[in-house]
Chains A and B, each alone.
Chain A
Amino acid sequence: MDLIVTGVNHKTAPIEFREKISFSRSEILNALKEIKKENSLKESLILSTCNRTEIYGCVNTNEVNGEEYIKNFIRKFKKIDTSTNNQYFYTLNSEEAVRHLFKVASGLDSMIVGESQILGQVKEAYALSCEAKANGIILNKLLHWTFRVGKRARTETEIGIGAVSVSSAATELAQKIFKDLSKRSALLIGAGETGELTAQHLKEKEIGELYITNRTFKKAEVLARKLKAKAIPFENMEEIFKRVDVIISSTSSKEYLITADYMKKIMNFRNYQPLFIIDISVPRDFDPKINKIYNVFLHCIDDLQKIVDKNLEKRKGEIPKVLAIIEEEVKKFFQWYRSLKVTPIIKGLQRKIEEIRISELKKNRKYFKEEDWKNLELLTKSMMNKLFHITMIKIKEFNEDSQMGLLRLDTVREIFGLEEYLENEEN
């Protein structure tokens, strides 16, 4: 039984193809049940996000070609011809498959390095595998190991630190000015996409009150419903200016919507309480001179992009640290994985030796007196134990040595004829 992953991601396949083979939650459940029924993969898990679709599994027998099986399954299940798109797929086995999953969970394989959403998506994929009863001893261990690696990567390195989108950079900046956003309010001017995203981010950070205004009031109302905010007419904007702490502006106005003189009046009215303005419009809505006014913090899209670029650069610098963690954990995981193969061999060998001992004793029973029998039993037991102990230590040493170890284990199995014992063990 070997681990395998076959799939596509944002680096190997265009979005058009990724869309075609993406699995919804219910599709994942059905697919996993079907895979289980077909019995080519003993355990399976499907990870499907907007950037990747991957099927992880443990191939049941040596006769099954895991890669072909998974590709055929996807073709059959999604009713698409994967043979013409073969170049988009990748397949990784054994250590490479584990290393890949660890990289995915740590965010190294994501479009934005270090993003944290993926770890949640891997957890969700595992939950579905459990729900479909497609999980088993290997995937259970592997996935829990993966969660640990993902957590280590984020706590022991700075791979997930800092905002990496304009909208999150704006929220981060707001948190550098205000202590508690839930006690603050914000105003979104315009209904542009980045403005909406920034407002959404502020909502996620539990901003106290969110107002939305637009020249077309209906648009403001629609967006307000979506973001659970309050829509206000464009003409009433000045009133809100006096009250809010954060202003996000993303209109398509050709000239400055707010001048420095106007803002001075507003700030005077506000008793110069801090005001954070995020101007993501191009051309800009707020006169840059406004930033000179006391306690006004005006930032445009370029300023925010500067934060994003710096953070991305920093995250890239953290990749070697994360890779080191991954290598350490891959090694540890495979120590466990190989022990799975070693344990049945040790148990089989122990049973075989014991059977030989008992059968030989039975054969020679008549040659010994009753009073010697107990001593003889103890003597043979002790001899066999010593012999078994020496063999066991050697077998455990094989385990430390990856490829050669596996070959040697096979040799032990052949020499002692342990096949029947191992089959019994697996059953």
Chain B
Amino acid sequence: MFIIKLLNTLLPVFYIVLTINYGLYFFKEDPFFEKTLKPLLCISVSFHIIYTVLRSIAFKHFPIASVFELLSVLALAIALIYFYIEYKIGVKSTGFVVLFIVFLFQTLSSANINYSSEINPILRSSYVMIHSGFAAFGYSAFSIAALYGIMYLMLFYDIKSKHFGIIYKRLPSLEILEEMNYKASYIGFIFLTISLIAGAIWLSKVIHQKSILDPKIIVALFTWIIFGISCVIKKYFGRGGIITSYLSFFGFMAIIFSMAIVNIFLPTFHIFY
């Protein structure tokens, strides 16, 4: 338990150091900071994985039982997906924004998380575990896609309007941002597909209703369709860029909106439990 508590305290520190380093690299383009980024990211993500595994073992459930557990998993998912994209594309100048969000999520989680093994019995089902875990990763990927979409739009309009400020100087090319947006959307789409399938299988076993008008499911399907369309437009019609950036942005807004509404007005995560 001591190690879990220690890691819970240390993780926000790791992420703030990482965010500051990415920020210094973004604003100063200093080669010294560039060298520190990869090892720091590896260390932070590794400790976060260890923390999540230890927590799952200690409390006998994957940490998605409360909002603050979920936030930590979301932070880890965003960090992992970002790590993968940075590794694949080799561009580090966008990490500042992404890791700042990771830091925010983890700090909120670390400050409020409970050390209890109490859990809604529904979450003990392996289908629900798969459904929730993949949904967390899917939504994280969509968040990253939206961030790249926003960066794309900012750079696009800067170049169009001939404004050559910090965005123009420090962001990678439009083509790279488009590629990052596509990769994140694609990963998110795959994860959410798995999540929806697992959720549907579980639902069919537990509730024998043909139609369930749950706002979360509706929004999840809506988001899934939006990001699906975005991937198809890019892959099969070669029309990425501004269209997919706007789609990612609106898809992400839908996720945020649904999360906020559900958490404020509904007593449970889905209407049926």
Contact = CB atoms under 8 A, between A and B. Distances in A.
Interface of A: 155, 158, 161-162, 173, 175-180, 271-274, 291, 294-295, 297, 299, 303, 306-307, 310
Interface string B225-265: 00000000000011101100000000000000000000000
B160 A291 contact: yes
A179 B162 contact: no
B31 A179 contact: no
B42 interface: no
10 contacts: A176-B171, A177-B175, A179-B172, A179-B173, A180-B175, A272-B239, A274-B174, A294-B242, A306-B162, A307-B164
A273 B159 contact: no
A153 to B, nearest CB: 14
A176 B239 contact: no
A178 B175 contact: yes
Interface in B162-194: 162, 164, 168-169, 171-176, 179
A271 B160 contact: no
Contact of B174 (A177, A180, A291, A307): A177
Q: Which of B155, B159, B172, B239 has the most CB of A within 10 A?
A: B159
A127 to B, nearest CB: 27
B17 to A, nearest CB: 22
Contacts, number: 45
Q: Which 10 A-B pairs have the closest CB atoms?
A: A179-B175, A303-B162, A179-B176, A179-B173, A177-B174, A178-B175, A307-B164, A176-B173, A297-B159, A178-B173
A180 B176 CA distance: 9
B173 A271 contact: no
A125 B173 CA distance: 38
B238 A273 contact: yes
Contacts of A274: 174-175, 241
A173 B173 CA distance: 9
A272 B171 CA distance: 23
Contacts of A273: 238
Contacts of A294: 242
Contacts of B179: 179
Given A178-B173, A294-B242, A295-B241, 13 more contacts: A161-B29, A176-B155, A176-B168, A176-B171, A177-B159, A179-B172, A179-B175, A180-B175, A273-B238, A274-B174, A291-B160, A299-B162, A310-B164
A63 B262 CA distance: 93
Q: Which of B159, B164, B169 has the most CB of A within 10 A?
A: B164
Contacts of B175: 177-180, 274
Contacts of B162: 299, 303, 306
The B contact surface, by secondary structure, is helix
A177 B176 CA distance: 9
B169 to A, nearest CB: 8
Contacts of B238: 271, 273
Nearest to B158: A176
Nearest to A292: B160
Nearest to B155: A176
Given A271-B238, A271-B239, A306-B164, A176 B31 contact: no
Given A176-B155, A271-B239, A272-B239, A297 B160 contact: yes
A255 B159 CA distance: 25
B173 A177 contact: yes
Contacts of A178: 173-175
Nearest to B168: A176
A303 B161 CA distance: 10
A177 B158 CA distance: 11
Contacts of A175: 173
B165 to A, nearest CB: 9
Contacts of A180: 175
B171 to A, nearest CB: 8
A287 to B, nearest CB: 16
Contacts of A310: 164
A160 to B, nearest CB: 12
Contacts of B169: 162
B242 to A, nearest CB: 7
B31 to A, nearest CB: 6
A310 B172 CA distance: 19
A297 B173 CA distance: 13
Contacts of B29: 158, 161
Interface in B128-168: 155, 159-160, 162, 164, 168
Nearest to B162: A303
Contacts of B160: 291, 297
Contacts of B242: 294-295
Contacts of B168: 176
Nearest to A179: B175
A291 B156 CA distance: 12
Interface string B38-74: 0000000000000000000000000000000000000
A128 B155 CA distance: 47
A158 B162 CA distance: 22
Contacts of A158: 29
Nearest to B89: A179
A176 B159 contact: yes
A243 to B, nearest CB: 14
A55 to B, nearest CB: 35
A190 to B, nearest CB: 22
A155 B155 contact: no
Contacts of A162: 169
A382 B38 CA distance: 57
B166 to A, nearest CB: 11
A70 B232 CA distance: 73
Contacts of B241: 274, 295
Nearest to A291: B160
Interface string B20-48: 00000000010100000000000000000
A214 to B, nearest CB: 28
Nearest to A174: B173
